[in-house]
């Protein structure tokens, strides 16, 4: 069994290495995969019967490929991954990789509640074409999810993964935060290359950047609402739900920050705060999918038990965009 797993791991490692060379990137121990840039955590469109609409998914990916994103995140929180079967999760990765240009990174959410199932999903997604894994914190037994448990979990996943691993802390959904001391320990692992932090705490992000500079650990902001602030303290990019609808402006905000044009970046950031709050905190995925239709993408329906917006919610959502000049 051990020999079989080792052979599978090596085969996957060589496949991933080949893709990395096409992307002009190195996966050797001497340099880490460059995560810098903007990523939309893409949605999973469903039809009225709750089935995944794969053709519409692929159509969205083709449109996103025209925007200067660094890549896409598949099955982050906005992908409704907790509502998908294991087979659907892997097939979505396979379909996206098929139409996504080779030079674009495909970061996939492989996190599950147990370490064993996370490793199994990680191996399957790597085989389906993922460039890196974004692994959410296990949270069901949150009372026992302390630093020691997280360090053990992520170390075992990273040891087994044939592609780099990105830590994913999203306390708004899990009701717990990946502790800073655990992040600092895990940043030393050669196959753990970064963190997506959705906790809205810019002081924490700054501290993590400061404490991990010597190991080339990369931090991604988890929301468009604090993207400018994250860049100002050393984040390398962002995984932003709003990029599903305002991708070009968010890439422009990145360009302004990297170019030191902070006054212009600040004015753009102001205009992004209200629509971002509406689709991330106020109304959630249903609002994001609704807004996608206004900008030429296909959102589709959410899978039950998530409900569509009411008419009043839809009007308020639209006002968040129109009052800031986006519609």
Query: Is 98 an annotated catalytic residue?
Result: no
What's the rounded Cα separation, in Å, for the pair 150 and 140? Answer: 13
Q: Which of 22, 196, 255, 289 is catalytic?
A: 196
CA-atom Rg of the chain in angstroms: 19
Neighbour tally for 197: CB within 10 Å? 28
3-state SS of the chain is CHHHHHHHHHHHHHHHHHHHHHCCCCCCCCCCCCCCEEECEECCCECCCCCECHHHHHHHHHHHCCCCCCEEEECCHHHCHHHCCHHHHHHHHHHHHHHCCCCCEEEEECCCCCHHHHHHHHHHHHHHCCCEEEEECCCCCHHHCCHHHHHHHHHHHHHHCCCCEEEEECHHHHCCCCCHHHHHHHCCCCCEEEEEECCCCHHHHHHHHHHCHHHCCEEEECCHHHHHHHHHCCCCEEECHHHHCCHHHHHHHHHHHHCCCHHHHHHHHHHHHHHHHHHHHHCCHHHHHHHHHHCCCCCCECCCCCCCCCHHHHHHHHHHHHCCCCC
What's the rounded Cα separation, in Å, for the pair 152 and 190? Answer: 15
What's the rounded Cα separation, in Å, for the pair 257 and 272? Answer: 15
Residue 286 makes CB contacts below 8 A (sequence gap 6+) with 302, 306, 307, 308, 309
What's the rounded Cα separation, in Å, for the pair 292 and 232? Answer: 29
Catalytic center residues:
196
């Amino acid at each position: 069994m051990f020999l079989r797993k080792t052979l599978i791991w090596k085969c996957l490692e060589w496949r991933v290495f080949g893709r990395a060379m096409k992307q002009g990137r190195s996966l050797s121990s001497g340099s880490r995969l460059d995560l810098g840039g903007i990523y939309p955590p893409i949605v999973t469109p469903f039809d009225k019967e709750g089935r995944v609409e794969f053709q519409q998914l692929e159509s969205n990916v083709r449109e996103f490929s025209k925007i200067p994103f660094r890549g896409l995140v598949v099955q982050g929180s906005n992908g409704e991954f907790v509502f998908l079967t294991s087979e659907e999760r892997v097939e979505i990765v396979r379909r996206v990789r098929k139409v996504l240009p080779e030079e674009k990174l495909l970061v996939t959410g492989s996190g599950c509640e147990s370490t064993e199932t996370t490793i199994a999903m990680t191996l399957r997604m790597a085989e389906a074409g993922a460039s890196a894994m974004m692994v959410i914190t296990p949270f069901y037994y949150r009372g026992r999810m302390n630093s020691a448990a997280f360090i053990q979990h992520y170390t075992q996943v990273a040891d087994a993964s044939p592609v780099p691993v990105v830590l994913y802390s999203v306390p708004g959904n899990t009701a717990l935060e990946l502790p800073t001391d655990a992040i600092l320990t895990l940043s030393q692992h050669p196959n753990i290359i970064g963190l997506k932090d959705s906790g809205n705490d810019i002081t924490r992000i700054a501290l993590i950047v400061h404490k991990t500079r010597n190991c080339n650990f990369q931090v991604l902001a988890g929301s468009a609402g604090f993207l400018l602030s994250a860049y100002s303290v050393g984040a390398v990019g962002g995984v932003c739900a709003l990029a599903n609808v305002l991708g070009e402006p968010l890439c422009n905000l990145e360009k302004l920050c990297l170019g030191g044009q902070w006054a212009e970046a600040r004015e753009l950031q102001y205009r992004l705060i209200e629509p971002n709050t509406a689709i991330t905190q106020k109304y959630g995925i249903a609002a994001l999918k609704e807004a996608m239709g206004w900008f030429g993408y296909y959102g589709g329906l959410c899978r039950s038990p998530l409900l569509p917006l009411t008419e009043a919610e839809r009007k308020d959502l639209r006002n968040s965009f129109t009052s800031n000049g986006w519609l």
